Structure formats: structure tokens, C-alpha cells
Chains A and B, each alone.
Chain A
Amino acid sequence: MVSIGAAVKEPGSTRKNKTGSWRTFKPILDKETCIKCENCIMFCPEGCINKDYDIDYDYCKGCGICAEECPVKAIKMERE
């Protein structure tokens, strides 16, 4: 149900828009290879990787910056 004029009266509605659905390539992080350098956490433009190196696929758009920045190639981009 959309409110009249699509006004948003509850905060946090942006999260309802699961931008992960835009993804074509999915980052798969191999925690065995990972050296916990935090590069991917800092470079992710969506803040989708947490301190435990879990990727939030609800919002990861699959840009691949994490895989590009990983110094030990622990992240592989796989086609959805």
C-alpha cells in the first residue's frame, strides 16, 4: 500500500529497496585466503562488508571493487 502522494512517514524506508537485485556478478569471499587487511571493507561503496568479512547480498550491487582491491585475490566475482 502506497501512501497518498507516496509520502514516506516512517524512517529507514531506503532499506526496503533491495539493491542487491541489480547485481550481475556476485563477490565470493574465501575466508581461508583472506588476510583481514580491511581493504574490501573500506573500499566497498555500499558498506556491504562487515568486520567479520560477511557480505550483505541484499544490498551488494556487484561492482567488483572489493575483488579488484583485494591484495591476495581472496574475492572472486561469479556470474549470478
Chain B
Amino acid sequence: MVLKVMSANQAIAEAVKLANPNVIPVYPITPQTTISEYLAKFVADGDISAEYIRVESEHSAISAALGASGTGVRVFTATSSQGLALMHEIIFAAAGLRAPIVMADANRALSAPLSIWNDQQDSISERDSGWMQVYAENGQEALDSILIAYRVSEDHSVLLPSMVCIDGFILTHTVDPVDVPGKGDVDKFLPPYKPDHAYLDPKRPMSIGTFTDPNYYMEARHDMELALVGAKDVIAKANAEFAEIFGRTYDFIEKYRSDDADTIIVAMGSICSTIKDVVDEHRDNGEKVGLVRVRVFRPFPTKEIYEAIKGASNIGVLDKNISFSVGGVLHNEINAKMDVKANGFIVGLGGRDIKPTHISEIIEKTKNTTKTTQWIGLNKEEL
């Protein structure tokens, strides 16, 4: 194994190179831009034979991706924040047309106020689209998640697109050691995409994306629900085979010192690395603190999260998003779907630093259960 030092953006581009898509329509946007640049270089250098489409907007990027996927080939695109918001219309269409597109989203705050820094509001706002969503913690997981995403999305029982989310700047622009797998192993894990539900063949013409009257729409949406729920089995199987071939194990959630914990923090993405350090500190002081990191956010791993947190008396859920007047989305989904009383905390919006002291503050605050969502890290003079 050769470890190379690279950013999560480069790790994603390396994964795309290995997955070898036929069409890559992308539009650059901070902090995703270097993904588009690496891929443009791969194509220009002849490292991959993909058609690289320089589109004029993100709406066009995802439209071209959907059109290309409809011809029956593997497609990749990437975006962030305002770009994802501009894609919104076609995001829903891609899921409804069951196009197994894989997209990387460099998580960034949504305007206004305009911000290029990290939070997860952009992808969380697309949660009802029917896309699968994975939140990576580091560059290695970003790379691996792209490969697993293709495998799951293209499974004939799933056929739904996937979004691999990486925290803007925190992952996209910092480097860590990444093992880039060999092409042979990747080909073993990821067979070529051979669709039979939607493809372009003049001998067997079909219409994709037609108008449906009320006799059909509801069944089509119900099929999507069944496919997304059923994707859990496919993800579990893909994770197991991935571990067998590459030696790295992924699950719907990651449990960190949480098995006997009285206090459990639940969070998604890169912040979990900080939380792990804070958990270690508290463990050193004899406090039974643990972390449950939610990796797969859609399909929502209700059972897995519940099994991991039900034994704890204090639960704190961190959200880098806000559904105004309701609270953090992950927090509300956990309380809605599970027999627990978790406390909700809004952190790190628009790139606000989340310090270890903030995590300790949250651990302390979970001791008093309250239905009020608490914002951590606000400037006190602003209150």
C-alpha cells in the first residue's frame, strides 16, 4: 500500500478516475473547484477517456449529467452550496428518473449572508429529493465513498443517485494520507454499469422523463421510497465486499467509545475528528463519553442509530444546519424516529469554528434535557 498525501478534493478526483465515468459535466464553484480541475487534467492528459463537458451553470451540469445517464452510461459531477441550490430542480428529476449519478458536494453555507465557508445546509436542504447521502470524515473516506456510491446507486434494485458530502475547506483544502487503490481491485468491486431501465438504443426506443397523469405519479414515488429503504441491504453488502477487497470497513454509522457511554454525541462529517479527541480527554478523566458518527444520512439508518444511542442517558445531536423554528435536521429526525430524548445543538454555521471547548460545553449541557435547540459558539456580545 502506498499512501499519498492529498486533499479530499483530490481523493475524490482519484476515485472518479478509478470509477472511469463516460461523461463528466461540471461547473466550478468554491470550494469544489479543484475537483473539476483535477478531472479536467485527467481528461486532458488522457488518463481517463471521459467526455468532459464545460457547462455554463450548475443547472446545466446536472441537466447534462441526467441526460448522459439516461443514455445508459456512468456519470459524475460535483458542486457546492449555491451550485447545489441551482441544481435543485434537476436533483429531484434525477432521483425520479432513477439515474444513478454520483455527485460530490463540498459542503458550504447557503446565502444570505453570502459565505464560502463550511456548514451542511446545502446538502441537508436536498434531503427529500430521493438521493442517497453520505458524509465523509476524511480524504480516505471521501475516496472510498465515491466507489461504494457507484456500486450502490447502479445496483438494479436501487437505481437512485448518490451524493458524497465533504466539509468545505476542512476536507476539500486540507491534506491527509490517502491510499489510492489499484485499478484491478476497483474493477473487481465495481462492475461496468449496464442498465436495463433507461438507455439509448435506436433499435429499442423509449421515452424518459415524460409527463405522467395522476394514475401513475404516486406509484412512481412509492417505488422510490421502496428503493431507498431497500438500498440499506445493498449498502451493507457493498460495505462488506469493500472491506474484503480493500481492508477498510465502513458502516451506516461509526461508533467511537460509545458502547458503555452515559453521554453520547451524534454528529456528521469532519467535526467528528475533533469530537473523538474530546471524547478521549473526557474518558481520561473517567467520564463515560462516546461519539456516534452518522455516515449514511439517506437512507436514514434509524435502527442503527437507535441501537447505538438508546443505552445513553444523555444524548446531544450536533447539526451544521438549521430548519428555522424547528431546529437541527438530524436532531429532529432522531427524536421523531426513535424513543429517545436527545438535545439539539446548532454549531459551525458559515464556517464558525467549533472548538474542543465547545464540544465539552455541549457534553455538559446534555445533562439537562431540554426541547429548546441550543446554538453553540455564538458571539456573546451579539446575544
Q: Could you list which residues of chain A lie within 8 angstroms of chain B, going by C-beta atoms? A: 1-9, 11, 13, 17
- Report the minimal beta-carbon distance from B372 to chain A, rounded to whole angstroms: 43
Q: Are A5 and B207 in contact (CB under 8 A)?
A: no
A16 to B213, CA, bound (A): 10
CA distance A4 to B208 in the complex (A): 10
Tell me the B138-158 residues at the A interface (CB within 8 Å). none
Most B Cβ at <10 Å: residue of A1, A3, A4, A17:
A4
Which of B159, B198, B207, B213 is in CB contact (< 8 Å) with A17?
A: B213
CB distance from A17 to the nearest CB of B (A): 5
- Measured in the bound complex, the distance between the Cα atoms of B204 and A7 in whole Å is 12
Chain A residue numbers with a CB within 8 Å of B204 are 9
Interface SS, B side: loop
Contact of B220 (CB < 8 Å), options: A6, A13, A17: A6
Give the chain A neighbours of B223 by CB distance below 8 A. Answer: 2, 4
In the complex, identify which listed stretch (B79-87, B91-99, B358-366) lies at the interface while the others stay far away: B91-99
User: Which residues of A have CB within 8 Å of B97?
Assistant: 5-7
A21 nearest in chain B by CB position: B213
A8 close to B216 (CB less than 8 A): no
Q: Which of B96, B99, B197 contacts A3 (CB 8 A)?
A: B197
Q: Which residue on B lies nearest to A3, using beta carbons?
A: B197
Q: How many residues from B make CB contacts under 8 Å with A?
A: 19
- Whether A8 pairs with B220 at a CB distance below 8 angstroms is no
- When distances are taken between beta carbons in the complex, the residues of chain B under 8 Å from A2 are 212, 216, 219-220, 223
Chain B residues lying within 8 Å of A17, measured Cβ to Cβ, are: 213
- Contact in complex: A5, B216 (CB < 8 Å): no
**B206 contacts A7, C-beta separation under 8 Å:** yes
Is A9 a contact of B206 with CB atoms below 8 Å?
Answer: yes
Q: Knowing that A2-B219, A5-B97 touch, tell me 19 more A-B residue pairs with CB under 8 angstroms.
A: A1-B219, A2-B212, A3-B197, A4-B98, A4-B197, A5-B96, A5-B208, A6-B96, A6-B97, A6-B212, A7-B97, A7-B208, A8-B206, A8-B207, A8-B208, A9-B206, A11-B205, A13-B210, A17-B213
B210 A5 Cβ-Cβ under 8 A: no
Please give the distance in Å from B102's CB to the nearest CB on chain A: 17
User: Across the interface, which residues of B come within 8 angstroms of A9, CB to CB?
Assistant: 204, 206
- Whether B216 pairs with A6 at a CB distance below 8 angstroms is yes
For A8, the chain B residues whose CB sits under 8 A away are 206-208, 210
Among B96, B204, B212, which residue has the most Cβ atoms of chain A within 10 A? B212
Cα(A14)–Cα(B352), bound, Å: 53
Give bound CA distance, A17 to B213, whole Å. Answer: 7
Q: Are B219 and A5 in contact (CB under 8 A)?
A: no
**Distance in Å: Cβ of A61 to nearest Cβ of chain B:** 14
Chain A residues lying within 8 Å of B216, measured Cβ to Cβ, are: 2, 6
- When distances are taken between beta carbons in the complex, the residues of chain B under 8 Å from A13 are 207, 210
Contact B159 A7 (CB under 8 A): no
Distance, CA A8 to CA B211, complexed state (A): 10
Mark each residue of chain B from 268 to 284: 1 if its CB lies under 8 Å from any CB of chain A, else 0.
Answer: 00000000000000000
In the assembled complex, which residues on chain B have CB atoms less than 8 Å from the CB atom of A7?
A: 97, 197-198, 206-208
For residue A6, which residues in chain B have a CB less than 8 angstroms away from its CB?
96-97, 210, 212, 216, 220
Partner of B159, one of A1, A4, A11: A4
15 pairs, A vs B, C-beta closer than 8 Å: A2-B223, A3-B197, A4-B159, A5-B96, A5-B99, A5-B159, A6-B97, A6-B212, A6-B216, A6-B220, A7-B198, A7-B207, A8-B210, A9-B204, A9-B206
